[in-house]
Amino acid sequence: KYKKLFEPFKIKELEIKNRFFFPALGLSIVNNDGTFANDTMEYMVRRAEGGAGLLITGIHFVEMDIEKKSVWVAPCPRTKPHGYKMVAGEMIERVHAFGTKMFVQLGPGFGRAIYPKFLNGTCVAPSETTNRWDPSITCRELTTEEIETIVRNFAESAVISKECGFDGVEVHALHEGYLLDCFAMSFFNQRKDKYGGDLKGRLTFAIEILQAIKAACGEDFPVILRYSIKSYIKGLDQ
């Protein structure tokens, strides 16, 4: 009855052995240098041992300077690339031993959804607004130049990830009220530059990220995008 679930399929030239995906989870077990902790590695290897065709890591941030965080809540490939490659490479090799493929999930940051205890500086957003958890905290509007920097950081992070041996990239996009999600919503995006305006303008950030990764990693390198079909935000903090 469920034979199709066990059949292989392809994303570009990458063959995945079955239709079972293990989606990204917020496994906030990270070493102080931004690399995977051993517990995270072992957890993912066990998922491969269980037979999943594709694993996707929890979110990895592409930068730590524009949105400054007080603790390592997720890895960042660009912070210490050499150490990141060594640890990630070992994990990927062990996952591949079970015939399982692995994608890295990359994201631009929390935006207004950041927990205040994770914040080490000013909260950022598409336009000035308040923090999701503490309305007394004001989120400043990102500059056009900062957004363009984040786009370049996505491409750089994707290249590092490809060099590690990851089989593809998932972009954490229009999902869960994080930074890139807020860009898509007119409620939070009142910008007047190329990253605001109508829906096409509000999606420019996400589109430029995909284009930058493809340009840096090649057209055959798989890139998928995580998004929500419907947003259930009715109003500020509702």
pLDDT along the chain (238 residues), means of 10: 95 95 81 82 95 95 92 87 92 97 96 93 95 95 98 98 97 89 94 97 97 96 90 80
Q: Would you say how long the chain is, in residues?
A: 238
pTM for this predicted structure: 0.94
Contact status, residue 159 vs residue 216, Cβ threshold 8 Å? yes
- According to the model, what pLDDT value does residue 168 have? 97
Which amino acid, residue 91?
M
Closest residue by Cα to residue 77 from 44, 48, 105: 105
Q: List the beta bridge partners of residue 5.
A: none
- According to the model, what pLDDT value does residue 71 have? 77
Distance of alpha carbon 191 from alpha carbon 185, whole angstroms: 11
Q: Are strands 123-125 and 138-141 parallel, antiparallel or unpaired?
A: parallel
Could you tell me the two tokens for 230?
């419907």
**Positions marked catalytic:** 178
Contact status, residue 88 vs residue 42, Cβ threshold 8 Å? no
- According to the model, what pLDDT value does residue 157 have? 97
The interaxial angle of helices 144-164 and 81-96, nearest 10 deg, is 50
- According to the model, what pLDDT value does residue 28 have? 61
- According to the model, what pLDDT value does residue 160 have? 97
